[in-house]
Amino acid sequence: MLKISKLTKRYGSGDPVLKELDLTVEGDQLTSVIGSSGAGKSTLLRCINRLVEPTSGSVDLNGTEFTTLNRRELRTARRRIGMVFQSFNLIDRLTVMENVQSGRLGYISTWAALTRRYPREDIRHAYELMERVGIAHYADRRADELSGGERQRVGVVRALMQRPEILLADEPTASLDPKTSEQIMSLLRDLASELKLPVIINIHNVTEAKEYSDRIVGMRYGRIIFDDLPGKLEKAEMDEIYAGVPAMDRAEVGAVA
Ligand SMILES: Nc1ncnc2c1ncn2[C@@H]1O[C@H](COP(=O)(O)OP(=O)(O)OP(=O)(O)O)[C@@H](O)[C@H]1O
């Protein structure tokens, strides 16, 4: 379980962009965080693994308080949090298998990694995950030979290779075409349920968020102002979350009832 309590983030001397925010996320659910640009969605996600340092508050993952870990402890603890990125963050000149195995860096020796002598169990696990997401036949392809959707699947498998306790995805579909984007959302939702893994996604596309999430969290000015089932997100709630933002900028393709 991830339990965030009274989380506040202030960049420099400006106003806080997260304001004493509370959020608890448990296993096997996909939670989408929505909100207009600048609401604090990315900051929230990045405070969880301390890519951004929280100003105050608590981030507790299954009993480990992340905000007080020292550098060395944090390096180890971060392995428990998988991260998927909008721009995939793959190493283009490496193969799919090599990219996937980079999720195990820190677990295996540098020598084993450099000489590509991956432990047998890691290879088995990689194939199992690659089969699951449909990229096993690309194991020996260079990452830059793949389509965007395939690259994001590599990114997902790399994150899962860490055997994470939670998966964070920062706009994982923003670089993808609509059909591929839906496939990735559907995959993330299914993986959350199959692996009993909480998944938190920062997403702009409200239609997709509603379709594929178990729970929607709506942010405005650093606070959570909506936290409920997707079906409960109707026009009045949308208007509150996106007050002053035109429908097109909400990435609200089509109607929200
Ligand atoms: N490194 C930084 N230094 C100063 N201010 C920052 C920094 N990163 C973000 N901010 C500010 O914090 C606020 C929240 O930004 P954040 O990126 O978390 O919002 P967001 O909801 O993810 O927006 P978007 O959807 O556009 O990515 C914004 O006002 C932004 O300008």
Q: pTM (2 decimals)?
A: 0.92
Measured from the Cα of 35, ligand 1's closest atom is 21
More confident residue, 247 or 125: 125
Tell me: the pLDDT tens digits for 202-249? 999 999 999 999 999 999 999 999 999 999 999 999 999 998 766 666
**How many whole angstroms from 93 Cα to the centroid of ligand 1?**
31
pLDDT score, position 256: 42
Task: Return d(Cα 6, Cα 141) in angstroms, integer.
Answer: 45
pLDDT score, position 117: 77
Tell me: the pLDDT tens digits for 15-70? 999 999 999 999 899 999 999 999 999 999 999 999 999 999 999 999 999 999 99
pLDDT at 109 > cutoff 90: no
Task: Return d(Cα 167, Cα 150) in angstroms, integer.
Answer: 18
Task: Return d(Cα 191, Cα 246) in angstroms, integer.
Answer: 33
In the chain, the domains with their CATH numbers are: 2-250 (3.40.50.300)
ipTM of the complex: 0.97
Q: Pick from 35, 5, 10, 1: which is nearest to 22 by CA?
A: 5
Sequence-ordered list of residues with C-beta below 8 angstroms from that of 78, at least 6 positions apart, any chain: 49, 50
Task: Walk across the sheet containing 64-65 and list its strands.
Answer: 16-25, 2-10, 56-61, 64-65
Mean pLDDT of 154-163: 95
Calculate the CA dihedral of residues 222, 203, 130, 128 and round it to 10 degrees. Answer: 50
Task: Walk across the sheet containing 30-34 and list its strands.
Answer: 81-85, 166-170, 199-202, 30-34, 215-220, 223-228
**How many whole angstroms from 118 Cα to the centroid of ligand 1?**
39
**How many whole angstroms from 85 Cα to the centroid of ligand 1?**
16
Pick the residue whose CA is nearest to atom 5 on ligand 1.
Answer: 11
